[in-house]
């Protein structure tokens, strides 16, 4: 199996510990994380041509991935602030 780019640990390499803490302790974050991985994997399958999709579908998935990243990033920032 090939490496899937854009995994959360690659997007937030300095925050691996916080990612783990949020995923195990925050149900909303866990849901966001799971959805992010689903969308990211679907994009990867389209990009490696393992799955067919229209350009519009691929772009919509990329927009979803960015929105999820924004929300996840905000939750990481909030967690850092509360821990400080």
Identify whether 64 is part of a domain. Answer: yes
Instruction: Decide: pTM greater than 0.75.
Output: yes
Give residue 47's pLDDT band: very low, low, confident or very high (50, 70, 90).
Answer: very high
| Percentage of the residues of the chain whose pLDDT score is greater than 70 | 96
Confirm whether 15 is domain-assigned. Answer: no
Range of the domain at 32: 22-83
Domain count, the chain: 1
Categorise residue 54: left if φ over 0, alpha if ψ from -120 to 50, beta otherwise: beta
Residue 32 lies in a domain: yes
4 assigned to some structural domain: no
The answer to whether residue 55 sits within a structural domain is yes
Residue 6 within any structural domain of the chain: no
Structural domain includes residue 10: no
Residue of 15, 59, 66 lying closest to 23 (CA atoms): 15
Mean pLDDT of 48-72: 96
């Amino acid at each position: 199996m090939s490496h899937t780019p854009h995994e959360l640990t690659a997007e937030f390499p300095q925050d691996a510990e916080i990612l783990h803490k949020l995923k195990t302790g925050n149900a909303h974050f866990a849901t966001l994380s799971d959805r992010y991985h689903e969308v990211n994997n679907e994009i990867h399958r389209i990009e490696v041509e393992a799955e067919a999709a229209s350009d519009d579908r691929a772009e919509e998935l990329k927009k979803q991935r960015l929105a999820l990243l924004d929300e996840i990033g905000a939750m990481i920032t909030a967690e850092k602030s509360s821990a400080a």
